[in-house]
Structure 1
Amino acid sequence: MTDFSHINEQGRAKMVDITDKKVTSRTALAKSSIIVNEEIYKKIIDQTIGKGDVLSVAQVAGIMAAKQTSNIIPMCHPLPLSGVNIHFDWNIINEKHELIITVEAKTKGSTGVEMEALTAASVTALTVYDMCKAVDKGMIIGQTYLVEKTGGKSGTYRREE
């Protein structure tokens, strides 16, 4: 039973002990996306969605989510985040309007910041959905994934695309 890092001697869940892990600078870059129709795209760009400035609210929601990750993901350690930055880019191909969400999270600590970046990306997409659902509930939240992480014992990871 003790071969699993999150299982104790009694076979029950535990938080991994990171006491002896080295403190290093760590970063994580995650992405998510949401596909919206042309009407929502125009309303986001023109800032005419009834609930307000969609991208500003979604950006703040994503940052707040990164800060709360350990409260909603059971085995995550609380981290002292040193930075969270969220970027938006539009990918418009053949009348498909896809908002690409990129999150960079940083910390200096004993464990990685990947979950904070992934949580922020997910909540950012969910917030766009929430703010725009009165216009159209047919939006599609896309894949959420880790692009890159640096620091720590395992070193750098970069997703091959």
Structure 2
Amino acid sequence: MTRRRPALLLVPALAAALALAGCSVVDNAVQGAVDGAQEQLDQAVDDAISETLGGAGISRNGEVPPGFPTDAVPMIDGDVIGGGSAPEGGGWAVQLAVEGEGAFSAAATLLQDGGYRADIQNSDARSGFGTFTDDTYRVVLTQDGTTVTYVVAPL
């Protein structure tokens, strides 16, 4: 009978180990889904920038690119990471470092208050994607954590 007690004690320990392993599998699946969605958003931003800028990339010089229509495109407060521009005023991109949650919502509100129509808009507290147009420009706006990106193209 004493030989069976260690075996009986092993059963709950094994069950606990399997339960913890199951939690790890669920956590890994959830993290994989989040990572996949983040990769899709990153790719969408990269595609929008590349298309608008004719294949040019974004510099990390801390400056808004020359020719960016700052008077026509209201932007939220943040530290400029950098930007890029297409030849002959064909489009621009600017990335800002922002703090806190809700930056996308604040940026979208500024655009709409400035006369832009929201064509597509989807966001949560730390991320978002949307397109906005007025009579002159189309703006693709994204937030990825602490980075907000404006991709602006003339109509």
TM-score by length of 1: 0.23
Which structure shows the bigger proportion of residues in helix conformation?
A: 2
TM-score by length of 2: 0.24
Structure having the higher Rg = 2
- More contact order relative to length (CA 8 Å, sep ≥ 6): 1
